[in-house]
Amino acid sequence: MEVLKPIAIEKGYFAYGKFDQLQQNIPYSPFVTALESLIRQLMTESKEQLAIWKQKILRTLGKNGAIITDLIPELEMIIGRQSPVESLQPKEAQNRFLMLFGSFIKIFADPERPLVLFLDDLQWADSSSLRLISYLCRDTGLKGLIIAGAYRENEIAAEHPFHAILDEIKKDGIMVKEIYLPPLNRAVTAEFIAGVLCCNEKKAEALAEILYRKTCGIPFFIGQLLKFIYKENLIEFNMNKGCWEWDAESIYKLQINDDVIAFMLDKLQKFHEETRRTIKFASCIGDTFDLKILSEVMEKTSIETVALLMPAILEGLILQVCRSENGTQLLYLNNGEDTYEFLHDMVRQTAYSMIPEEEKNVYTLK
């Protein structure tokens, strides 16, 4: 995704959506998120250009504009409130939606200025979204659309409907490029550690071997483990020599859980009870959560809620989300308000796992 984003923004548009394990009952959710970010990108353009976009969108949607604005309310900032649409039978309504959504995407997907639509965590995709992906891939009129998706192979079983959709797309002769991203091998782990610690790979070799064995080459886990080792004062910067030093033998003897979820659980369990409770509520909201909503759930002020989140923020497990000038997301640590995001799915997944089964309905409903 990080490779695609600058290229897309430079020569076209980039829209990102993420499927949510706890929101699989909400159809099209990632498309909504992605197109909301696209609308924000459009809102940074000149009044003259916005007027042109408005004409294009209204001409394309016609009397069915409300179907899209109901899905993406932010679109009303450009085209205004739309009139209610005619009711149809479920099957006809579904066909109308697919055709209209495809036409809406075509507005922004120009071969000269393409639209990159990145859909993350496809292992949690709902059936409606998968049908929409299939429809968009088969729409021969969509020449300027690139759909990129990501999923965890170990979490998507052979009977998952995603595989059936993918097979159908391939059978229709549509080009699908599959890229397998394995964990880092020993050599790349050593290269990664050498880069982080600004030393040569020979010096980093022993430390890299320990980290590789304990993390199985999972990049996220390697980063978290390095932070943990640093906090244990087993990696220190020698000011006199101007380099990082470490005791490989002490690191090797360090008792570290070699399961990433269990490792994250150990970290979260060390937080104060109220901080853990706050993080658990945040995990029920989503990978990204609004501070105002979380504060209302916690029955606290925004300042109090940020204070409770601060240990996780300082650990880098929760980050604040802000918007860049072109409407895409930037992440940075800050104690202000607005929107926050879990560093990784695994952090949120671990936080959610801390909620006892008998209390999950209470947390979710609240």
Hey, where are the domains in the chain?
A: 4-171, 186-256, 262-365
Query: Across-strand partners of 290?
Result: 339
Cα separation, 14 vs 7, in Å, equals 9
pLDDT digits (tens, 9 = 90+) for 73-108: 999 999 999 999 999 999 999 999 999 999 999 999
pTM more than 0.75: no
How is residue 323 written in tokens? 């918007």
CATH classification of 262-365 is 3.30.70, yes or no?
no
Cα separation, 92 vs 201, in Å, equals 62
**Residue type at 18?**
K
Residues with Cβ within 8 Å of residue 248, at least 6 apart in sequence: 206, 207, 210
Of the candidates 175, 66, 61, the one whose C-alpha atom is nearest the C-alpha of residue 107 is 61
Q: What pLDDT does 333 receive?
A: 38
Q: Which residue has the higher pLDDT, 257 or 192?
A: 192
Query: Across-strand partners of 235?
Result: 246
pLDDT digits (tens, 9 = 90+) for 126-174: 999 999 999 999 887 888 899 999 998 877 878 888 889 999 999 988 8
For the beta carbon of residue 7, count every other beta carbon within 10 angstroms. 13
Residue 329 binned pLDDT confidence (cut-offs 50, 70, 90): very low
